[in-house]
């Protein structure tokens, strides 16, 4: 990067607010996805005004800018594939206001999810989305990806809690969107537009979030099934009762084996299982737990365990959250890679989807683990491959494209919570064909020089999804 531009940036954030060192910029080339890039400079602003000044410099000099939260994204959204400036928001990490009477809090984007809930706990409130990465991901990243997690079925996703925000446009203009009120019918919902925009429309510098009272009690059931289809049918039957659990996680046999191998067998040895949590008033919790057990048995569960014990519940939840990391230890020399990792379907189509994904895996000779937040239709499929083998990457890519196609045919979408980034871009483009030109117009209006996170979403330029991979066999690797 030109030294005169570095000097302009230094004048805005000070000498300790940026780095061009090869080692530091290298570490900002990755997120938790399969991709890598190489930024020219990493900048750590402390205020909205600094972000505004930085954007003016970037816009005038046509420097790509990638805002970055915790870097835990799974589809490459925060990877700087065009170089330029990574804007690390982690120094803007203040919880500015908690107002229980107004049911809201005001936070800076760099606040880590778990830290926000620690700050809300003494008031008896929480911010519910519960991503599995809660100890590291930041509010700005969650808003920019519309993150959610196990509790989305009952409590919704991040978008359902965003009341307002401050964001900085590509030209440095500061915009206050939305309000500090629970309702708002005053014109375009610009804060909503920023949700899931993946850093392509503006830099979020403050967020007003709705908060929820913490449930008084909870209980869990663990139901084992002879196969994933029966587990999928149980999910649909439970919701049809009607019963909305606070979470309902499905795991197939590959996921169960991986966790049992890595953690020493905490889960029943079966073909598929559902982990159900109910929460609320203690009397309602007991009634709902009994319904869960009855429906699971009616739908062919081979065993159903229930518990109110917090230690047991934490152990079950931990084993579910361990799926992703456990998969990599299942087969020596193989790694679990995030490819088709968070498709969302109408809940009634889950049994068909699970069956279709298994057939696709077998047809393409790849190991696929299917698990996820089944009650809101959100399934994760992780591929287990030898990342040094180009042949296996190509087989995985083919399987992924078929999984996306099957999902779209079943009325679903390529991403329910992780975003599009790069790994889902080709199929996102096919899925949202009729909305693409409107998206392009919005992008041009807010970022005419295309400096904000270029090359992502509808701007993806590769044929398939194997872009600049972080693995050694990658022919397209960025040097």
Ligand X SMILES: Cc1cc2nc3c(=O)[nH]c(=O)nc-3n(C[C@H](O)[C@H](O)[C@H](O)COP(=O)(O)OP(=O)(O)OC[C@H]3O[C@@H](n4cnc5c(N)ncnc54)[C@H](O)[C@@H]3O)c2cc1C
Instruction: Please give the Cα distance from 11 to 378 (Å, whole number).
Output: 46
Binding of ligand X by 172 (CB under 6 A): no
- C-alpha angle 34-35-41 in degrees, rounded to nearest 5: 140
CB-count exposure of residue 102 (10 Å: 0-12, 13-18, 19+): middle
Q: How far is the CB of 419 from ligand X (least distance, A)?
A: 6
Residue among 62, 65, 41, 61 nearest 51 (CA): 65
Binding mask 304-333 for ligand X (x = CB under 6 A): --------------------x---------
Q: By CB under 6 A, tell whether 74 contacts ligand X.
A: yes
Give whichever of 83 and 109 is closer to ligand X, judged by the CB atom. Answer: 109
Task: Give the nearer residue to ligand X in terms of CB position, either 96 or 241.
Answer: 96
Query: 376, 417, 427, 447: which one contacts ligand X (CB under 6 A)?
Result: 417
Among 19, 48, 77, 218, contact with ligand X (rule: CB under 6 A): 77
Site for ligand X contains 78 (CB under 6 A): yes
Phi, psi of 429 (to 5 degrees): -60, -40
Cα atoms found within 13 Å of the Cα of residue 415, Cβ hemisphere only: 27
Distance between CA atoms of 166 and 151, rounded to whole angstroms? 27
| Residue 457 touching ligand X (CB under 6 A) | no
Q: Is 165 in the site for ligand X (CB under 6 A)?
A: no
Question: Residue 391 Cβ, how far from ligand X at the closest point, in Å?
Answer: 27
| Cα–Cα distance list, 479 to 33, 374, 476 (Å) | 18, 40, 9
Site for ligand X in 80-119 (CB under 6 A): 89, 109
Query: CA-CA distance, 430 to 427, in Å (whole number)?
Result: 5
Site string for ligand X, 129-148 (x = CB under 6 A): --xxx---xx-xxx-xx-xx
Window 32-51: residues binding ligand X (CB under 6 A): 32
Q: Which is nearer to ligand X, 198 or 279 (CB)?
A: 198
Question: Among 115, 62, 82, which Cα is nearest to 449's?
Answer: 62
- Taking CB under 6 A as the binding criterion, the range among 66-74, 247-255, 296-304, 397-405 that sits at the site for ligand X is 66-74
CB nearer ligand X, residue 228 or residue 455: 455
The closest alpha carbon to 292, from 348, 218, 228, 227, belongs to: 218
Q: Quick check: bond before 356 cis, omega within 30? A: no
Q: Which residues bind ligand X (CB under 6 A)?
A: 31-32, 66-74, 77-78, 89, 109, 131-133, 137-138, 140-142, 144-145, 147-149, 198-199, 203-204, 324, 417-418, 453
């Amino acid at each position: 990067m030109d030294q005169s531009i570095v000097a302009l940036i230094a004048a805005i954030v000070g000498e300790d607010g940026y780095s061009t060192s090869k080692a530091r910029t290298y570490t900002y080339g990755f997120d938790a996805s399969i991709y890598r890039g190489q930024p020219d400079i990493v900048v750590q602003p402390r205020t909205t005004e600094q972000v505004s000044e930085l954007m003016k410099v970037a816009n005038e000099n046509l420097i790509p800018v990638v805002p970055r939260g915790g870097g835990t994204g799974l589809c490459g959204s925060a990877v700087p594939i065009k170089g330029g400036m990574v804007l690390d928001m982690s120094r803007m990490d203040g919880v500015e206001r908690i107002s229980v009477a107004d049911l809201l809090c005001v936070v800076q984007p760099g606040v880590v999810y778990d830290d926000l809930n620690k700050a809300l706990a003494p008031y008896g409130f929480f911010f519910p989305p519960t991503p599995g990465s809660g100890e590291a991901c930041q509010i700005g990243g969650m808003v920019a990806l519309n993150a959610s997690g196990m509790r989305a079925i009952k409590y919704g996703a991040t978008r359902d809690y965003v009341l307002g925000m401050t964001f900085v446009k590509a030209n440095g203009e500061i915009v206050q969107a939305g309000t500090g009120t629970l309702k708002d019918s005053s014109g375009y919902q610009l804060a909503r537009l920023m949700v899931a925009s993946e850093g392509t429309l503006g830099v979020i510098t403050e967020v007003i979030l709705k908060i929820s009272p913490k449930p008084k009690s909870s209980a869990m059931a663990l139901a084992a099934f002879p196969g994933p289809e029966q587990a999928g049918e149980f999910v649909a039957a439970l919701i049809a009762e009607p019963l909305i659990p606070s979470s309902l996680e499905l795991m197939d046999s590959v996921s169960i084996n991986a966790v049992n191998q890595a953690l020493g067998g905490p889960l029943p040895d079966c073909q598929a299982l559902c982990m159900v949590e109910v929460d609320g008033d203690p009397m309602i919790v007991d009634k709902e737990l009994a319904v869960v057990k009855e429906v699971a048995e009616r739908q062919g569960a081979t065993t159903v365990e229930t518990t109110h014990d917090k230690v047991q519940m934490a152990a079950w939840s931990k084993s579910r959250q361990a799926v992703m990391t456990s998969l990599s230890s299942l087969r020596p020399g193989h790694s679990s890679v995030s490819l088709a990792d968070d498709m969302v379907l109408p809940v009634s189509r889950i049994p068909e989807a699970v069956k279709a994904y298994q057939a696709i895996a077998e047809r393409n000779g790849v190991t696929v683990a299917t698990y996820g937040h089944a009650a809101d239709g959100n399934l994760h499929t992780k591929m287990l491959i030898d990342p040094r083998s180009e042949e296996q990457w190509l087989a995985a890519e083919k399987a992924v494209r078929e999984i996306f196609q099957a999902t779209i045919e079943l009325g679903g979408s390529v991403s329910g919570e992780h975003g599009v980034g790069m790994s889902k871009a080709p199929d996102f483009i096919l899925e949202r064909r009729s909305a693409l030109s409107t998206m392009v117009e919005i992008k041009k209006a807010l970022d005419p020089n295309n400096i904000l996170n270029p090359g992502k979403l509808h701007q993806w330029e590769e044929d398939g999804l194997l872009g600049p991979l972080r693995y050694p066999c990658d022919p397209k690797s960025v040097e």
